[in-house]
Chains A and B, each alone.
Chain A
């Protein structure tokens, strides 16, 4: 039984084992921004650099700063483009998992009901 002492279980503490990893560094922030539609996905390990024919993409730092700036603006934070403490705090707030800048999309194939 999860531990609680008050009748309505309002003092129920989620087990420390299952806490969301705080967003505290650049990579976690990048992942947050791409997950919620503010930036493209960060290059994964082993991905190949774009070929000479690919259009010149903005340097990743500039693109990231722009994404951070847009995120800061909608969250009424100073749009500095820098990952300051207030921006990280905003990223750590409880939120819905649907992306912010795109309408929700169609459902994945449903799981088969267990027999």
Chain B
């Protein structure tokens, strides 16, 4: 490879990041195509190959701000990444494959990928042969700019390792590619912890929770103990949650007292109650009154549509946010506290002057993992001073907001994927 002459035409538009980083594509949506005829494999059907390649691209999309779209129509020269399978001398490539064994594929930086069709490529479900998915993920890493590494667990190891327990991009692989393309940023419609009651092996009820991030019609489960989203997320909201709006949810509230346990989703001027046991929204309550219902009906004094809301278990108050105001709703008396609404800047004062979200909060989220409330807006969050913070620093104002931080540096790799790969 080192001996190739540099491309006579210079980098193609989009080949290199205009910011001077020649190691990375500048575009954020890249197109790819599996070459037909000579480039198709004799072992897997074309559809099977395309499905596997689509999944391989999606896996990189799940950890980078890159999207990958299969393009079967544009002129070949306009496709960013062409992939093909061939034997021996192949696809006009100056590098000849060596038959089965040893070299099974090669790739070019910001360029194409070739697979040696003399190898026995198999689908991910097979234990035999060489997994086309694993090789594709590896070669796409090269195209995006990653070199080989001998680090155990990396997808960029040069040798094929059969029967690895799982094929996923580990922490170091993610950091390596994010060094080239940055990490995923973006705002969220709502963020919440979902509590699950489970019985452990002794039959005792235990509480576990997962954190969910909702954006448009997609959602991610965030695994706090692994500091990453669940493998294979995002999914479509409609696939994972039944009976609530399929996109643009404004708020989620888990009302939880000694006698009550209710979960609500809010959107527009309506709210839905969710049945955790049956994993679907209630269509009516025990008195036969139907859901969804008008927010003003269930929460008198609360305006809609909302920006967001969260429930404070200690105070048994729901804080509803709308524009620059916050309303504290007493769930026992079913009314807004007399001293509310207040300006958000008064109820949650900035600890550092001028460092405050002011209005139109995207999401107010109480995290059990961090035992704190966070106000999210755009790609930043502000942490609300907790009681523990105030025990350590008594000068902190009640419910004061610490200076803003980047969401992507606290909750990692919450990345979009191309809509064509959403249902994989």
Contact = CB atoms under 8 A, between A and B. Distances in A.
Interface of A: 2, 8-12, 14, 17-23, 36-37, 74-75, 90, 92-114
A10 B129 contact: yes
Contact of A95 (B4, B37, B102, B128): B102
B99 A95 contact: no
A92 B111 CA distance: 27
Contacts of B122: 8, 10
Interface stretch (B61-69, B85-93, B324-332): B85-93
Interface of B: 1-2, 4, 6-8, 11, 23, 37-38, 42-43, 76-77, 82, 87-88, 91-95, 98-112, 118-120, 122-123, 126, 128-130, 135, 138-139, 142-143, 145, 147-148, 150, 158-160
Residue among A36, A92, A101, A110 having the largest count of chain B Cβ atoms under 10 Å: A110
The main secondary structure of chain B at its interface with chain A is: loop
Given A10-B129, A19-B100, A94-B160, A111 B145 contact: no
B98 A20 contact: yes
Q: For the complex, would chain A's binding face be called helix, strand, loop or mixed by DSSP majority?
A: loop
A102 B158 CA distance: 12
Contacts of B82: 110
Contacts of A10: 122, 126, 128-129
Contacts of B147: 98, 100, 102-104
Contacts of B130: 94
A12 B43 contact: yes
A69 to B, nearest CB: 15
A92 B102 contact: yes
Contacts of A92: 101-102
Given A36-B158, A105-B108, A107-B111, A19 B129 contact: no
A18 B129 CA distance: 16
Given A14-B118, A18-B118, A94-B130, A104 B98 contact: no
A102 to B, nearest CB: 6
B101 A103 contact: no
